[in-house]
Amino acid sequence: MNTTVAEDQAGQAGQDQPAYSRAGRFRAHADPGLLLALAIVLLALLCALAPDLLSPYGPLDADPANRLQAPSLHHWFGTDNLGRDVFSRTVHGAVLSLSGAAIAVSLGLVAGVLVGVLAGYAGGLPDAIAMRLTDVLLAIPNLLLSMAIVVTFGFGTWNAALAVGVASIAVFARLTRAEVLRLRALDYVEAARGSGASHAGLVFRHILPNAITPVLGLAALQFGTAILAIATLGFLGFGTPPPTPEWGLLVAEGRDFLAFAWWLTTLPGLVIVAVVLSASRIATEIRRSTR
């Protein structure tokens, strides 16, 4: 009798406790730092989608009479050596930087998942070949590999995005393969296989939907990494040529004036740091909430 009463009380207590889904846990753990990161990323995306809405001047509008003006109410980030508004150029630079990062992450995600699923599910020789190729990609520094691809196909933000995407394939492939190997040995997959499910059915109905969640968390982390990589290539001169604004190029253009016009390099650089750190913070929360 006492046992039955205790069980009823435990069941009632369990009903009183809210059941959080993964999305619910993500919201429950939201803190000021996470909210600030979300705001920064959303603002950056707005800059990329509607730059004219946020920029008070055109990115190529030169005013030699106001060249190298310090930050003020009229020019929030100051002006460059040609009198162009640095804030407006930074806002318009988000178009190339963020779209290039999105292309790079999409390429790495799609190709990496395909390679990882093939290697993890097929096993044997396909697994050995795929993993040796990923080992080669991982052995080459990402920046060096990206520079080599850009030199081969030509300079520009889109080729830089292609290079960064190719360099990230190995990371996605490794994680996807590990998830597929883990899921392939679970009981429900074995039961589906025993009931006559096809290989395509096993992969697309039972394995891939459960393996993709941690991979998407990695994609969010790689988005910030891709922004930084594309900005680095732009800084080194492998991205879009001037006068088209791009975040790495803006930092590079201001380095010759750093001694007396610090804002040309510092403020666009702070924007890059803020967006990259915010993307990493969001990615960390996503990966934590999906464990």
The answer to whether residue 9 sits within a structural domain is no
Q: Are 45 and 98 in contact (CB under 8 A)?
A: yes
Q: Which residue has the tokens 């998830």?
A: 179
Question: How many structural domains does the chain have?
Answer: 1
The answer to whether residue 6 sits within a structural domain is no
- b/e per residue, 149-183, with b = 16+ CB within 10 A? bbeeeeebbbbbbbbbbbbbbbbbbbbbbebbbeb
**What whole-number distance in Å separates Cα of residue 224 and Cα of residue 281?**
10
Structure tokens at 240: 């879009």
The answer to whether residue 219 sits within a structural domain is yes
Of the pLDDT bands very low, low, confident and very high (cuts 50, 70, 90), residue 18 is very low
Of the pLDDT bands very low, low, confident and very high (cuts 50, 70, 90), residue 290 is low
The answer to whether residue 40 sits within a structural domain is yes
CATH number at residue 239: 1.10.3720.10
Mean pLDDT of the chain: 84
The answer to whether residue 50 sits within a structural domain is no
Output the pLDDT for position 3: 45
What percent of the chain has a predicted confidence (pLDDT) above 70? 88
Q: Which residue has the tokens 């959080």?
A: 20
List pLDDT tens digits, range 62-76. Answer: 989 899 999 999 999
Q: Is 2 a residue whose pLDDT tops 50?
A: no
Q: Is the dihedral of CA 269, 155, 238, 256 positive or negative?
A: negative
Of the candidates 142, 291, 168, 174, the residue with the CA atom closest to the CA atom of residue 221: 168
For residue 54, CA distances in Å to 51, 73, 93 come to: 6, 15, 12
Output the pLDDT for position 185: 76
Q: In the Cβ-directed half-sphere of 224, how many Cα atoms lie within 13 Å?
A: 22
Of the pLDDT bands very low, low, confident and very high (cuts 50, 70, 90), residue 6 is very low
- Left (φ > 0), alpha (ψ -120 to 50) or beta: where does 94 sit? alpha
Structural domain range at position 116: 30-45+85-289
pTM of the model: 0.82
What does 80-94 look like in DSSP terms, one character per residue? -TT--BHHHHHHHHH
Of the pLDDT bands very low, low, confident and very high (cuts 50, 70, 90), residue 217 is confident
**What whole-number distance in Å separates Cα of residue 238 and Cα of residue 232?**
9
The answer to whether residue 273 sits within a structural domain is yes
